[in-house]
Structure 1
Amino acid sequence: MPRTARTRVAVALVAAAATFVATAASPAVAAPPADYCQGQCDDILPPGENGNATLAEILANRLFGTRPVHTDDQLGTYASLADGYQSVTNATIDDYFGDSAFGVPPDQVQSTIKPRSDVSIVRDKKTGVPHIYGTTRSGTEFGAGYAAAQDRLWLMDVFRHVGRGQLSSFAGGAEANRQLEQTFWAAAPYTEQDLQDQVNRIAADGPEGAQALGDINAYLEGLNTYLSQSHQGRYFPGEYVLTGHVDAITNAGTIAPFTATDLIAIAGVVGALFGTGGGGEVQSALVKQAAEAKYGTAMGDQVWQSFREENDPEADLTLHDGQSFPYGASPANPQGVAMPDPGSVTPQQEVYDPAGSAVSDSKAAVSVPANLAPAKGMFTNGVLPGDLLSARHGMSNALVVSGAHTDDGHPIAVFGPQTGYFAPQLLMLEELQGPGISARGVSFAGTNFYVQLGRGQDYAWSATSASQDITDTFALSLCEPDGSAAARDSTHYLDDGQCVAMEPLEVDDSWQPTIADTTAAGSYRLVVYRTKYGLVQYRATAGGKPVAYAAQRSTYRHEADSIIGFQRFNDPAQMGSPEQFRSAASAINYTFNWFYVDSAHIAYYNSGWNPVRPSTVDANLPIAADPQYEWQNWDAATNTASWTGAGAHPNSVDQDYYVSWNNKQALDYTSASFGEGNVHRSDLLDSRLGALVARGGAISRADVVKAMADAAVTDLRGEAVLPTLLRVIDTQPVTDPAQAKAVDQLRTWLAHGAKRVETSPGSKTYADAAAIQVMDAWWPLLVQAAFRPGMGDDLFGAMVGALQINESPSNGQTGPTSGAASANESAPHRGSAFQHGWWSYVDKDLRTVLGDQVAGGLGEPYCGGGDVAACRSALLTSLTEAAAEPASTVYPADDTCSAGQQWCADSIVQRPLGGVTDPNIGWQNRPTYQQVVQFAAHR
């Protein structure tokens, strides 16, 4: 049905909306409030809303390929945009997104239930999204918990165990499960008292905190009501049978009720995944150390700073009107820097007393009932990706345009989070309507008592990960309490002259073979050492004396504090203007870039607890654990300090447009990591949206969708760096036939827009496939050819450890890898690409070699030692090597694809977090949940 014909979209018809969400057999449901989008709000969340499957449904999926209703009904719609975006119009946006208006028309109601007298849950036929209407606030929250359990019970149970370092004992000892619980325990370990303390802190946070705790308790009541009913009625998720928690025949077993501390544990996982920043000071120190070893102290420091690009004058900025927000820059003469001795750094040991079987590949015999045989070995690779925390995440993007440039004078936003592709999604869709709550959008399952990203009656909001520096690394001098000489593994450290003990945070995890995971039984003990200055990450020596490097994160032990900001986002009384939006966003301590749009205004705010450091401290290097270098007003007992004020955070109202793809926020707002230089994937958005604004005229929702989608299928290396590569090569004619062929292929691909698109929808064959294969093979080779000879192995290796060379769609062509980069570059099929790589280094260096004036250059040329002819020779030699690589090498086989399958190697896999799997789709680089909004009116 055309959107203009939808009865619910007109504000004038809101008075009749009570009939929208009632079925003939059900009592009338409270009417949704006025919806000022008037048919111009859409969203999408693949693969589908339903994330629960009974045992019978899981077995049917394995045997016959069937799926429960609403499991994957948004996947095809999402995938089709990559092929059809060029012809999108305002009238056809619905072909690629779903209508996100409030309420459900009567002919679209699939079901209506009243799990309690003061709440109704209405689900629509098209997507099965829960629309929750409470006559009391408690009823609304009860319904949110009930619906969450209906759609994500197993996933929430998995995450509350991840948050406690106990995933293997819950879901089996697969290597991925062990890897994930180890990396999470190292990032955010908590005792039960720590979790309870966060609950208590919410309760003590004034009237809003008391309301939040009341909301949580009502939510838990709804969640646990469904949990109990589904267990008794035998329609609970089948994964509980497959992992041995419930007997398939007798129904005996336990599905433990959820508690408030469980929700805090889940919030801790979310915070560790998406809301942190900084902490790479040791790796940064290793780069500086290697640079100084090669060039000497003065020149080495300059080289380190040039590769840091902490305030690159050519960087793409979200706030591009010249606003300056100084934060985190290295001081001219830093004090308290605690550099490790060369070659002395080792990671802190975390796994202790591993039983031999705990790391064995041997399989124990498991008795499998005949009817469960198709599920045997289902979770051999784990119920969650082992690299969920260790791999860097692509996150999210946003395109927001002021009404001064749009077709009807009202702002437009196309934005959303990139939380990865999973089956089911980590996020769930919902509409919440009740006293003080009116919103539709997504939340992480288990924290969906409020909508975290979405829309209200006449406004919408979204976020991208900002990752500014809220984590510092302190060097602790080790000691022994008896006065004897300390060793590198000592568990005591000096605190203001006293030898004090580190606090071991321990969890014992053991597992037995299950039906779905036949990993042999095993056990181990996870230990993280907590100190006054944070969690121990590394051991080393400094000046010949043993030290421990501890990471102090401002949000550690405070993940739940952000609940107040999300509560405000959902309250229409607190979200009617850009100023109210900023007030809500500033109450969130996670590091996010927040975007707001209503019918008249757009706005931006960067959130996060940014610590106030002494002016002499360099936040980009390890700091001596000494009181004079601590955060201002820091209280170790509560892990609180003075944070920079809201006005010091990058913020803006009604700039002509905003673009974010995890790029630099504003001038002088220092990056917490390497790689925010002049080539960034945000350029793909900025160039397109900026061109629309610059051309003048009326920008439509379809225009902004097309700009986003065109960027989503474009190879950043091809669009932004290949022209510079060709400039070097074109300084002389190419006479070698093989080289000339490869260069011509690349030049033609560039002329076509450097896209990774199919020849026709469904062909699973790329246009310009040969050129794409050449670029995929060439990039890691050309980076080595350009930089390694001049930098030397030590500096080059240290830089690779700080910033990976490549992040192609398939991630099958990595070059040298080290540390975290290795984990990230071996993570295929995840959609997100081109955030982390040496794009700007290559471009700046080659422009320097060509004699261009380069602002923020690398200090000295590397490719060919600065000689154009020598640089050209190095590039062509590496190109020859790349062109000779067979497809089977460029695109190696994995669990999804055979060797040499280019389209398949790029394709996005909905990584199964439960028993049901979904098909892979073609690559596109865009948010997993995405809104398209343009409000036509305001309250």
Structure 2
Amino acid sequence: MRASIGGRSVLVGTGACAAVLAVILAAPASGAAGDPYGTLWNILPPGQSGTITAAGLLQVLAGDPNRVAVDGTNAPPNFADQLEMYDALNRRDPASITTADIGTYYKRSDFTPQTVVRSAQPKAGVSVKWDSYGVPYITGATYDDTMWGAGYAGTKDRMFLMDVLRHAGRARLAEFAGATPDNLQMDREQLRSAFYTEAEAQAQIGNAAIRFGAEGQRLMHGADAFIAGINAAQNEMCPGGVPTGPSCPAEYAALGKTPQPWTRADVTYVASLVGGIFGKGGGHEYENALWLQQVQAKFGAVQGRSIYNDLREKNDADAPTTAETRFPYGGGAINERQPGVALPDLHGPQAPGTGEPINGTTLPSGLPALVPGGPTSNLSMNTPQGSIDVPIVSHGMSNAVLVDAKHSTTGHPITVFGPQTGYYTPQLLTEEVLDGPGVKARGVAFAGTNLVVQLGRGVDYAWSATSASNDLVDTVAERLCNTDGTPATVSSTAYVRDGRCVPLDRFEPSYLAMPSAGSPSPPQRYTYLVLRSNHGIVQLRTTVKGVPVAIVSQRSTYQHEVDSLAGFARLNDPGYTTNATTFKAAASAIDYTFNWFYTDDRDIAYFSSGRLPVRAAGTDFDLPRWGDAKYDWTGWLPDSAHPQQINPSRGYLVSWNNKTAPGFSAADSVWGYGTVYRSLALEDRVKAAIAHGGKLDIGRLTGLLADSATVDSRAFYTLPALLKAIGDDPATAPARALLQSWLADGAHRVDRARTGHYAHEQAIRIFDEWWDGGGAAVARDLVAGKLGETLTSELPQPIDDHPRLGRGSSWNEIAWYGYVNKDLRQLAGTTFASPYANHYCGDGDAAVCQATLATSLADAVRRAMSDEGVTGVQQLTYDKTQDDIRSATAGVVGVRPIDWQNRPTFQQVVAFTGHRPRP
């Protein structure tokens, strides 16, 4: 007879069918009340309910004219309640946290609501119950019913934010929310990242269905049901599209907009936005090529190449990795002499690429230039109340720590993990519980793509992710030509493809931006240029050795953003994901580049996903390649070659966006996988705790992660080398004493008692100024000892990722931390597995290096004291509110800032003690 397991039909005998059903349905006696398989908690600040109606707006205004909602005072239900729990953990001494305390700082993550606050049956076959935290529990009679309920319930909580995201994905944000400079720049960058015609976006779900066969067909029908649920909720909240209804989000009236029905294309546009921000790596070959040529012009080809390889740290054997085992990928040192390499001319002529205004369009002055590789700082989306920062470069502070059964007091794995997607009001992520045929999952997904749970738990397993930033974007130089046979210039709009001169695809997307609360500017039409070759979207036109070329971004997930839904659907399916091995098979269907982690009652596992190209011979991993067919990608890295591990011998898995595995090359856009990475702050604590047979419980593990969350890892891992190199310098002795005391206390930035001041604030003030203040930076002073000021300033890497940016993140993917650590230690005689070929501080002269660093510190102290008008370092202060986590407001109501902690947005605490019978 046939049995259906997770929506798949399999042929089995009668006895076998009974055994299969027993495996799926049986529950062991172990586990906590309410969940037969264990105890799980999670947190998602500020709160699940993100819709503000006119009545809700009045409630907030009654307590605060600045429209800041505080739970327990003027916030609507579930709008800011989880923010208070999230902040409260940072007040607690991490060493004192026990398992009994976790329920104070996290909410239970079960499949059955502990309390039902309200319920609805919006259509036949669909039931929704909301618990006391506002989380919807969606039950469907069929798979499609469940998907319909996901669209319906998700819209109730995120309707306006979903609208913002789909317009941003369409590159029409300025049309919807106002033509502010930020919104205009966001639209231009989105065109360069993921331009689609309406027809192309509409077709993506159908194309994904073809790729995945029966799985894809089920998902396509589910997507249509999901869209129908969205539209049903919109019609219910804003009847007739009128934005003044009592349940309609207040932002529509503020903008003078009316909600429009959703289509398949909208899901694609949201997926393209999310995938283009959080799920890609690489694409900086153009910038790398320019800097390589500059350094070679000063030092010659051979030494210039060695300096580039030092500072690139493509495969630094001293970098912390998540997997223990080696996974070779990406090749060795840079080789610009390969025949397929196309080095752009340093001072060649240029013509615009995609995103440039045309047909009389004028843009506000001061917008940053559009360059290949994307912006070097964050973008923003402006809404009626505030700005939504979009982290193009930094992927926040997603982290994961999984301890195996051998090192747990329960004899089962324990896990704390979660993704960081920034702090927003409401959150970009929305929580849901999906329960129907072929799906049983609880967790979060990006609003507008929540027909699947993307991070969360299944029946007896849980999973999460950190950004891997692996290389799935390349830069291609297409030879330009003219179809009439005349000589090409950088203004030409045709290219050589398979030996023929063919026109570049040309589009001119246009929209009319009207005055609104977001932007009172007069009406203006904006029209942009889009050029595209068969490899991807044109970023710029320039020359290579005098030959006119189009610089094109080729991304493996372009035209395939929604395909990854199939992998998520597998993770949601209890019939598919039954153990660590099937988890890896599910994660392998996710094309975005993420590190995926899995835990159940027996195993911990890791798999790094991504549609990673196999590159042709004659090309270089770090540099642009010619668009000739012989240099095209030759296939995709097989699943077996992706970094992965089950139950590692060291007893744990740790990730904080660090390098995936030994031998697995860092993407050309990632230069920060050196000796210093913030994952060390967590790994060092876990390693020490389990040394010599130690065992952890879930409370202790949570405390270790909370302790690492307030460490200035930049300081902790660079100050020892800096202070040792300076030595006994009398002029800087008072400052060094303060820095040494802070370092001895763990280099934390924390005020658990909420006194209004950090402990060691004088040291923090000094170090921040020393690292990057007043246009000076100690790391640049160090590297300039070899490179000189000009080359050092043009090194295409940011100097810092500081919490004062307000997004909560810090110390992520910054190469300079490792440069300081390795160069100074190597100069002092430390041996490394991957030593630098060159010395940088003082050009290798220890005395000159010492003088450089001492002068740099003395200058920083003088600047700090001058700024504050004090005469001694003991009088220095630090305004810790600079570091506050400030949630970006996506609508008309915001939430209060909270003290900084380096922690995921959505975080799960997982302790499984049972499992379905394993086949």
State the Cα distance separating 1:355 from its structure 2 match: 6.3
Contact 1:334/1:617 (8 A) holds in 2: yes
Pairing of 1:401-480 with structure 2 (within 5 A): 401-480=403-482
Q: What is the match of residue 728 of structure 1?
A: 725
Pairing of 1:74-473 with structure 2 (within 5 A): 74-84=82-92, 85-105=94-114, 108-125=115-132, 127-204=133-210, 205-232=212-239, 233-245=245-257, 254-320=258-324, 322-330=325-333, 334-344=338-348, 348=353, 350-353=355-358, 359=364, 385=387, 388=390, 390-473=392-475
For 1:82 and 1:599, how far apart are their aligned partners in 2? 29
In structure 2, relative to structure 1, the CA distance for the partners of 1:596 and 1:178 (3 Å cut) is same
For 1:69 and 1:695, how far apart are their aligned partners in 2? 48
Contact 2:761/2:878 (8 A) holds in 1: no
State the Cα distance separating 1:60 from its structure 2 match: 3.9
Aligned letter for 1:35? D
Q: Which moved more, 1:197-206 or 1:841-850?
A: 197-206
2:914 aligned with 1:937: yes
Aligned pair partner of 1:576 in 575, 578, 587? 578
In structure 2, relative to structure 1, the CA distance for the partners of 1:785 and 1:203 (3 Å cut) is closer
Cα deviation 1:36-60 (Å, max 9, x = unaligned):
443x211000000011011332344
2:484 aligned with 1:482: yes
In structure 2, relative to structure 1, the CA distance for the partners of 1:609 and 1:380 (3 Å cut) is closer
Q: What is the match of residue 374 of structure 2?
A: none
Contact 1:888/1:901 (8 A) holds in 2: no
For 1:317 and 1:94, how far apart are their aligned partners in 2? 32
For 2:425 and 2:585, how far apart are their aligned partners in 1? 35
5+ long unaligned stretches in structure 1: 1-9, 18-33, 246-253, 362-377, 633-641, 811-826, 892-898
Contact 2:682/2:708 (8 A) holds in 1: yes
SS in structure 2 at match of 1:268: helix
Q: What is the match of residue 741 of structure 2?
A: 748
State the Cα distance separating 1:426 from its structure 2 match: 0.3
State the Cα distance separating 1:63 from its structure 2 match: 4.9
State the Cα distance separating 1:393 from its structure 2 match: 2.5
State the Cα distance separating 1:349 from its structure 2 match: 5.8
Q: Which moved more, 1:921-930 or 1:395-404?
A: 395-404
Q: What is the match of residue 767 of structure 1?
A: 759
Contact 1:164/1:189 (8 A) holds in 2: yes
TM-score by length of 2: 0.88
SS in structure 2 at match of 1:549: strand
- Of all paired residues, the percent bearing the same amino acid is 40
SS in structure 1 at match of 2:531: strand
Q: Which moved more, 1:691-700 or 1:381-390?
A: 381-390
5+ long unaligned stretches in structure 2: 1-25, 65-73, 240-244, 367-379, 870-875
Aligned letter for 2:274? V
2:673 aligned with 1:669: no
Q: What is the match of residue 638 of structure 1?
A: none
Q: Which moved more, 1:167-176 or 1:907-916?
A: 167-176
State the Cα distance separating 1:64 from its structure 2 match: 2.5
State the Cα distance separating 1:13 from its structure 2 match: 9.4
Q: What is the match of residue 843 of structure 1?
A: 821
State the Cα distance separating 1:325 from its structure 2 match: 3.3
State the Cα distance separating 1:193 from its structure 2 match: 1.6
Q: What is the match of residue 716 of structure 2?
A: 719
For 2:562 and 2:843, how far apart are their aligned partners in 1? 52
For 1:479 and 1:427, how far apart are their aligned partners in 2? 46
2:596 aligned with 1:602: no
State the Cα distance separating 1:618 from its structure 2 match: 0.9
In structure 2, relative to structure 1, the CA distance for the partners of 1:451 and 1:380 (3 Å cut) is closer
For 1:840 and 1:149, how far apart are their aligned partners in 2? 44
Contact 2:152/2:230 (8 A) holds in 1: yes
Q: What is the match of residue 47 of structure 2?
A: 48
For 2:523 and 2:866, how far apart are their aligned partners in 1? 37
Q: Which moved more, 1:661-670 or 1:392-401?
A: 392-401
Contact 2:309/2:333 (8 A) holds in 1: no
Contact 1:173/1:520 (8 A) holds in 2: no
SS in structure 1 at match of 2:605: strand
2:784 aligned with 1:788: yes
Aligned letter for 1:422? Y
2:595 aligned with 1:593: yes
Q: What is the match of residue 71 of structure 1?
A: 79
Contact 1:505/1:529 (8 A) holds in 2: yes
Cα deviation 1:513-533 (Å, max 9, x = unaligned):
113532443332122211112
For 1:37 and 1:544, how far apart are their aligned partners in 2? 66
In structure 2, relative to structure 1, the CA distance for the partners of 1:877 and 1:520 (3 Å cut) is farther
TM-score by length of 1: 0.86
Cα deviation 1:626-645 (Å, max 9, x = unaligned):
1111111xxxxxxxxx2111
In structure 2, relative to structure 1, the CA distance for the partners of 1:765 and 1:714 (3 Å cut) is same
For 1:934 and 1:54, how far apart are their aligned partners in 2? 38
Contact 1:450/1:570 (8 A) holds in 2: yes
In structure 2, relative to structure 1, the CA distance for the partners of 1:887 and 1:522 (3 Å cut) is farther
In structure 2, relative to structure 1, the CA distance for the partners of 1:834 and 1:644 (3 Å cut) is closer
Pairing of 1:877-888 with structure 2 (within 5 A): 877-886=855-864
Q: What is the match of residue 517 of structure 2?
A: 515
Q: What is the match of residue 29 of structure 1?
A: none
SS in structure 1 at match of 2:390: coil
Contact 1:417/1:462 (8 A) holds in 2: yes
C-alpha RMSD of the superposition: 2.5
2:793 aligned with 1:797: yes
In structure 2, relative to structure 1, the CA distance for the partners of 1:87 and 1:344 (3 Å cut) is farther
Cα deviation 1:252-307 (Å, max 9, x = unaligned):
xx321111111111111111111111101111112211221111111111111111
Q: Which moved more, 1:569-578 or 1:227-236?
A: 227-236
In structure 2, relative to structure 1, the CA distance for the partners of 1:578 and 1:136 (3 Å cut) is same
For 2:807 and 2:591, how far apart are their aligned partners in 1? 31
Aligned letter for 1:661? W
Cα deviation 1:784-813 (Å, max 9, x = unaligned):
2212242024421331x2x11111211xxx
2:802 aligned with 1:808: yes
Q: What is the match of residue 660 of structure 1?
A: 655
In structure 2, relative to structure 1, the CA distance for the partners of 1:485 and 1:888 (3 Å cut) is farther
For 1:572 and 1:625, how far apart are their aligned partners in 2? 44
State the Cα distance separating 1:926 from its structure 2 match: 1.1
Cα deviation 1:391-435 (Å, max 9, x = unaligned):
432251111111111011101111111000000000011111111
Contact 2:183/2:381 (8 A) holds in 1: no
How many residues align? The count is 846
Contact 2:27/2:915 (8 A) holds in 1: no
Contact 1:169/1:510 (8 A) holds in 2: yes
Q: Which moved more, 1:41-50 or 1:651-660?
A: 651-660
Cα deviation 1:565-624 (Å, max 9, x = unaligned):
111101111111111101101111111111110000111111111112123321211111
